[in-house]
């Protein structure tokens, strides 16, 4: 294509050169005619000169010869001019004009010669370029012939490769089709052989379904017989009550345990009270060393408080005297801790004024840890015992509520604000986006987590405590379990809360930023009191969202959660008003009735069937488990009475009968 363009351009240049030459010749001819039209005697000489000029234009090589001829003609013209000048003055004037015109024509002739030389140079250059282009055309044509040959060879090779691939694919498809036909024949044979087995399984299923439908009647009959025998045993126990009068204290312990069990079934919040010991500095101050608290030797759930000549009695679930150890306190709460392994939401929070021992009870010291570390160690022990059948994962988070702001104590930047939101999975549970979670597997992991959390927690000095906690600290422990044999899953949560001091602002002597902290603390604790009052009065609306504390503890103060409140009390008379407020609040909390406890255990079987048989077996298994729980609680209660040998023998007989009944009716 480039060669064609060059050829067209060459032709165009030739045409332009040709037209230019013709135009120049026409100009020269016109000049010659002008000279011939003058009435001068020199017209013949000028026509002779124009003739010589036209010939010179077409014959560039003879330029010198014509120039010489022109010169000779000029000499002759001068001679004639001189002769004519003598004859007439008019002729002289005409001669001068003609000489001027002759000079102008000579100048034009020189310019035309120069242009002619330039055009000849361009012509030679165009001819040389054309020759080069013809050479390139020949080279390109050769390359095109070679490429055409290579293309034909490649096309032939591709055609052969295509034929070979098609042939191989055809052979492979034939072999696969043959294998598919063979497998289809085998499947058909298996289908024919499985049809009798399917009919047998259908018959077995129908029989099992009928048995399951009859099972509730059998169970009712068995339960009725068991009730009759249990009633008989109870009547015998009633007849022996006269022998148990001397065991009044032990009956009081039994009454307390039965009451705790009733509280668990009703879903009430358990309330424990711990009185801290008097420090050495307080003992040195004689005017404030005398304690105003006393304990009931017959009932460890009663606390007496003397104030202004009046004695106030507070009945709680358990009262720990000042000499109670950390281990004794934990023994009373460990049953709640282990409940989270079974899928319950559990909350244990310490409440009381600053300096009453809340942080000591919850966290303890290095050589004598509190509930937090002991709870995690107990969870590790329980998880290890269930390891062959269950796989558990324990994660820990620490949150601080400081000035009504959530802070991530285990995060890289603890000052970042967090928010509480509803879980988007539709479970209705609350969660905190961005909250750091650490998986713990050993006591060393626990120590690292606690060290980081304590380092980031806000504390300050007040009149009541040199290192007062100015925020609410929450240790959130999540236990997720999976039984690979049955497919059961459990997820429980244990909230361990160390509340900030509940004393009044005037008592703590807070000023400036400490005053604002105290106001936020009192606001959140007041919101907690409003929630307790609403739950106690069974209001339809409970103001959980009035405070970040109550909103975060919503799962622990409602529904199927298990909650324990540890009230910390100071024995000093100077703190008596704060102690009375704390104990009164504890009694209000104790009267709150939550829903009946039920775990968040979820069973995820591999089968997605929801047939009546599966549902009936689940209901029956739940009834048997509930009867078993009631029966063994009764067994523990009866054994604690320490009846005579005849009664023990009767109980053993009932136990054997009940175990036989469970073995015969368990699927």
CA angle at 637 for the pair 634 and 638, rounded to the nearest 5°:
85
Pairing of strands 270-275, 562-569: parallel
184, 634 Cβ separation under 8 angstroms: no
Burial 362-399, CB ≥16 within 10 A → b, else e: bbbeeeebbbbbbbbbbbbebbeeeeeebebebebbbb
According to DSSP, the residues that pair with 315 across neighbouring strands are 302
If 0-12 CB within 10 Å is exposed, 13-18 middle and 19+ buried, where does residue 317 land? Answer: buried
Which residue in this structure is represented by tokens 């039209």? 37
What are the phi and psi torsion angles at 435 (to 5°)? -75, 130
Alpha carbon distance 641, 237 (integer Å):
9
Contacts of 374 (CB under 8 A, 6+ apart): 326, 330, 334
The answer to whether the annotation marks 54 as part of a ligand binding site is no
Q: How many CA atoms lie within 13 A of 296 on its CB side?
A: 19
354 annotated ligand-binding residue: yes
Strand order of the β-sheet with 310-315 is 293-295, 302-307, 310-315
Q: Is 538 helix (H, G, I), strand (E, B) or coil?
A: coil
How far is Cα 397 from Cα 456, in angstroms, rounded to an integer? 13
If you count them, how many residues does the chain have?
667
Residue 475 has, within 13 A of its CA and on its CB side, a CA count of: 23
Q: For strands 270-275 and 310-315, give the pairing.
A: unpaired
Rounded CA-CA distance 288/279 in Å is: 11
C-alpha pair distances (Å), 277 with each of 289, 298, 363, 467, 568: 11, 21, 17, 18, 11
Q: Is 358 annotated as a binding residue?
A: yes
* CA 657/CA 544 separation, integer angstroms: 49
- Compute how many other C-beta atoms are within 10 angstroms of the C-beta atom of residue 575: 22
- DSSP class of residue 269 equals P
Q: Please indicate if the annotation marks 357 as binding a ligand.
A: yes
How far is Cα of residue 267 from the mean position of the Cα atoms in its chain? 35
How far apart, in whole angstroms, are the C-alpha atoms of residue 545 and residue 554?
A: 9
Structure tokens at 180: 């598919």
CA distances from 133 to 13, 97, 126, 479 (A): 16, 54, 10, 88
Annotated binding-site residue? 355: yes
Cα of 57 vs its chain's centroid, Å: 95
> Nearest-CA neighbor of 500 among 462, 453, 533, 447?
462
CB atoms within 10 A of CB 232: 12
Cβ neighbour number for residue 576 with a 10 Å cutoff: 19
Q: Which residues are annotated as a binding site?
A: 352-359
Q: Which residues are annotated as a binding site for ATP?
A: 352-359
């Amino acid at each position: 294509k480039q060669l064609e363009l060059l050829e067209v351009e060459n032709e165009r240049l030739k045409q332009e050169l040709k037209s230019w030459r013709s135009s120049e010749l026409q100009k020269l001819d016109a000049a010659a005619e002008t000279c011939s039209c003058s009435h001068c005697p020199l017209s013949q000489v000028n026509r002779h000169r124009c003739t010589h000029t036209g010939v010179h234009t077409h014959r560039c090589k003879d330029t010198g010869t014509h120039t010489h001829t022109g010169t000779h003609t000029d000499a002759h013209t001068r001679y004639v001019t001189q002769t004519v000048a003598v004859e007439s003055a008019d002729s002289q004037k005409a001669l001068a004009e003609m000489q001027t015109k002759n000079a102008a024509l000579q100048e034009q002739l020189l310019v035309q010669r120069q242009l002619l030389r330039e055009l000849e140079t361009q012509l030679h250059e165009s001819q040389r370029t054309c020759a080069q282009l013809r050479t390139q055309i020949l080279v390109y044509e050769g390359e095109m012939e070679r490429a055409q040959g290579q293309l034909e060879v490649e096309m032939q090779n591709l055609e052969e490769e295509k034929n070979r691939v098609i042939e191989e694919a055809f052979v492979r498809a034939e072999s696969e089709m043959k294998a598919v036909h063979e497998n289809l024949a085998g499947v058909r044979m298996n289908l024919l052989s499985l049809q009798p087995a399917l009919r047998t399984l259908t018959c077995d299923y129908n029989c099992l379904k009928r048995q399951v439908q009859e099972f509730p009647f059998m169970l009712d009959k068995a339960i009725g017989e068991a009730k009759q025998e249990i009633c008989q045993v109870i009547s015998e126990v009633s007849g022996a009550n006269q022998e148990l009068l001397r065991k009044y204290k032990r009956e009081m312990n039994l009454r307390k345990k039965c009451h705790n069990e009733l509280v668990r079934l009703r879903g009430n919040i358990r309330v424990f009270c711990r009185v801290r010991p008097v420090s050495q500095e307080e003992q040195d101050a004689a005017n404030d060393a005398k304690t105003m608290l006393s304990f009931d030797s017959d009932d460890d759930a009663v606390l007496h408080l003397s104030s202004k000549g009046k004695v106030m009695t507070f009945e709680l679930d358990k009262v720990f005297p000042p000499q109670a150890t950390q281990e004794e306190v934990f023994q009373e709460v460990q049953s709640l801790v282990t409940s989270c392994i079974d899928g319950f939401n559990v909350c244990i929070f310490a409440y009381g004024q600053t300096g009453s021992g809340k942080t000591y009870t919850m966290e303890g010291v290095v050589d004598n840890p509190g509930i937090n570390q002991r709870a995690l160690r107990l969870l590790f022990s329980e998880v290890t015992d269930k390891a062959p059948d269950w796989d558990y994962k324990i994660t820990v988070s620490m949150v601080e509520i400081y000035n009504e702001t959530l802070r991530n104590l285990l995060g890289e930047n603890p000052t970042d604000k967090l928010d509480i939101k509803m879980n988007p999975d539709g479970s209705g549970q609350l969660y905190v986006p961005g909250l750091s979670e650490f998986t713990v597997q050993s006591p060393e992991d626990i120590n690292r987590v606690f060290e980081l959390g304590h380092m980031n927690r806000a504390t300050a000095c007040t009149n009541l405590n040199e290192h007062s906690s100015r925020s609410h600290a929450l240790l959130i422990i999540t236990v997720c379990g999976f039984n690979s044999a049955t497919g059961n899953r459990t997820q429980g949560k244990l909230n361990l809360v160390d509340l900030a001091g509940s004393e009044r602002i005037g008592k703590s002597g807070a000023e400036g930023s400490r005053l604002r902290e105290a106001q936020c603390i009192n606001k959140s604790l007041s919101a907690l009191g409003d929630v307790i009052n609403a739950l106690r009065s069974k209001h339809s609306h409970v103001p959980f969202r009035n405070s970040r504390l109550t909103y975060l503890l919503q799962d622990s103060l409602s529904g199927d959660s298990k909650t324990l409140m540890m009230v910390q009390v100071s024995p000093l008379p100077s703190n008596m008003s704060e102690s009375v407020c704390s104990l009164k609040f504890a009694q209000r909390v104790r009267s709150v009735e939550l829903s009946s406890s039920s775990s968040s255990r979820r069973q995820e079987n591999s089968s997605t069937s929801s047939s009546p048989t599966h549902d009936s077996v689940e209901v029956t298994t739940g009834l048997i488990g509930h009867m078993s729980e009631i029966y063994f609680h009764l067994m523990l209660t009866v054994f604690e009475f320490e009846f005579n040998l005849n009664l023990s023998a009767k109980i053993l007989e009932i136990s054997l009968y009940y175990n036989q009944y469970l073995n015969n009716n368990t699927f």
